[in-house]
Amino acid sequence: MYKKGMRRAAALLAVCWLGLLFRAAAETPAEKLERLRAEQQAIEQQIEQNRTDAARAGDLVNLYTAKEQNVKAQIAVLQLKIQECEAQLAGTQAQVAAKLLEVDRSTQSFEARMKGMYEMSRQSGLAVLLGADSLSEMLTFGEYLQRIAVRDTRLIAELTARREELAALAARQQAELDALDASNAELEAAANEYAAALQQANARLSAAQAAEQAGAAAFAAKEQEIAAAEREYAEWAAQSDNDAPEYTGGAFYWPLPGYSTGSPMGWRTLNGVQEFHRGMDIPAPLGTKIYAAADGVVSTKAHYTYGTCVKLSHGGGLVTIYAHMSAWAEGIADGVPVKQGQLIGYVGRTGRAYGYHLHFEANLNGAPVDVRDYLG
Ligand SMILES: [Zn+2]
């Protein structure tokens, strides 16, 4: 029981200590900016992904459009062939029908003639029995009858053969037409398939384009959020707190005793980029003590550029800023008044800093001023 209580107390102490040191509970402006930038980067990656998707979908749209057009052209050619074939078949079938009619007519007239002959021969035979003229007449009539029969039979056979030829031709043409119809059905199926694929690709393309637009909007919104966060910080840095004491003038206390000035305020080139340096950089080892330049009221903030930072409002619109600290000094918190030469923090390299140094900056009514003007 006792041990458990001790552990809890120790844990509580650790949390208090961490809270004092890092203000871990709430999101600092630096953390906020980092989060916003990470979110923006994620959006950018998503936009890139959407662009790739859109490009792929666009390729598919082009591919299926080409395929569909190709199949449609093939179908058009095939349709012409089918029409031609159908016309031929209709012609042949008409010929078959005509020939069939001819065969029927010839057969009918042959039958009629044969019937007539039979009647005549019957009557002639009767005439012979009743005492007809002569046997030679009978014979002549028989030959005549036979000749007619042969001629008619041959005619009918020829007509039938011709009709069968035409029927065979019609069957061949029908088979050809059937094959063309089958090909056409295949092409139509392919065309339908391509049309469906094209529709899908188009849907994918519009979805990717919509996502890309949404991403661009989200990116712009995040950009505005970041700009607002930066503005918020700049306003904080420039603003002299209202409850600050009146700056009475007099020389600044040098915040890093024993360490001389480094890079001064003004334009400089950092990593090939021209930028305005708002303060003075004083190199010093990690943990070197930093002291207040003048009496003032504390405001603390962390920033992605300045890192762990203290701003002192001295009144009269004058503020001093101490950036890239490794930690705030004990008791340094928002609204706390400090005296000139009081310990406020320790040298570090938090934020955008290359090597351990103190960034020491002064602003008068929001505009940077050279701290050397206040050193006396
Ligand atoms: Zn600096």
Q: What is the mean pLDDT of residues 279-303?
A: 92
The answer as to whether 241 is a domain residue is no
What is the spatial distance between Cα 311 and Cα 23, in angstroms, rounded to a whole number?
16
Residues 72 and 208 in one domain: yes
Q: What is the mean pLDDT of the chain?
A: 82
Q: Note down the domain range covering 47.
A: 2-121+158-234
Q: Which residues contact 87 (CB under 8 A, 6 or more apart)?
A: none
The C-alpha atoms of residue 205 and residue 61 are separated, in whole angstroms, by 8
| 9 shares its domain with 106 | yes
pLDDT digits (tens, 9 = 90+) for 118-171: 787 777 665 655 555 666 666 677 777 788 788 888 888 998 898 899 899 989
Same domain, 295 and 225: no
Percentage with pLDDT > 70 across the chain: 85
Average pLDDT over residues 7-21: 40
State the Cα–Cα distance between residues 9 and 160, nearest whole angstrom.
Answer: 120
Give mean pLDDT, residues 335-341: 93
176 and 32 fall within a common domain = yes
Q: How far is the CA of 281 from the centre of ligand 1 (A)?
A: 5
| Least trusted range by pLDDT, from 4-8, 57-61, 350-354 | 4-8
Asked whether residue 31 is assigned to any structural domain, the reply reads: yes
Say whether both 216 and 343 belong to one domain.
no
pLDDT of residue 15: 36
Residue 302 lies inside a defined structural domain of this protein: yes
Please provide the size of the chain in residues. 376
Distance (Å, whole) CA 36 – CA 303: 13
Residue 218 and residue 289 in one domain: no
Residue 335 is part of a domain; what is its CATH number? 2.70.70.10
CATH number at residue 192: 1.10.287
CA separation for the pair 365, 125 (Å, rounded): 152
328: CB partners within 8 A, 6+ apart: 21, 300, 308, 310, 344, 345
Instruction: Quote the pLDDT of residue 129.
Output: 59
CA quadruple 326, 329, 334, 338: dihedral, nearest 10:
-130
pLDDT of residue 134: 61
User: For every residue of 26-54, which 3-state class applies, written as one string?
Assistant: CCCHHHHHHHHHHHHHHHHHHHHHHHHHH
Co-location of 230 and 88 in the same domain:
yes
Do both 101 and 226 map to the same domain?
yes
pLDDT confidence bin for 106, thresholds 50/70/90 = confident
Q: How far is the CA of 297 from the centre of ligand 1 (A)?
A: 22
Q: What is the rounded CA–CA span in Å between residue 12 and residue 95?
A: 110
Gap from CA of 333 to ligand 1 centroid (Å) = 22
Q: Is residue 322 part of a domain?
A: yes
What's the confidence (pLDDT) of residue 28? 65
Task: Give CA separation, 192 vs 4, 185, 195, 270, 318, in Å.
Answer: 75, 10, 5, 62, 77
280 C-alpha to center of ligand 1: Å? 6
Question: Which of 81-95, 133-147, 263-277, 286-300 has the weakest average pLDDT?
Answer: 133-147
pLDDT tens column, 46-94: 888 888 988 888 898 888 889 888 888 888 888 898 888 889 889 988 9
- Alpha-carbon distances, residue 53 vs 37, 123, 160, 203 (angstroms): 24, 102, 70, 12
Q: Based on the domain organization, do 94 and 225 belong to the same domain?
A: yes
> Which residues does residue 323 pair with via DSSP β-bridges, in sequence order?
359
Assigned domain for 147 exists: no
Give me ligand 1 centre to Cα 306, in Å: 8
Query: Could you tell me if 194 and 276 lie in one domain?
Result: no
Instruction: Indicate if 270 and 230 belong to the same structural domain.
Output: no
Nearest residue to 90 (alpha-carbon basis) of 165, 163, 161, 177: 177
Whether 100 is in a domain gets the answer: yes
Supply the pLDDT for residue 34. 77
* pTM score above 0.85: no
CA 278 to centroid of ligand 1, rounded, Å: 7
Per the structure, how many domains does the chain have? 2
Residues with CB under 5 Å of ion ligand 1 are 281, 359
219 within some domain: yes
Predicted confidence band of residue 117 (pLDDT cuts 50, 70, 90): confident
Could you tell me if residue 113 is inside a domain?
yes
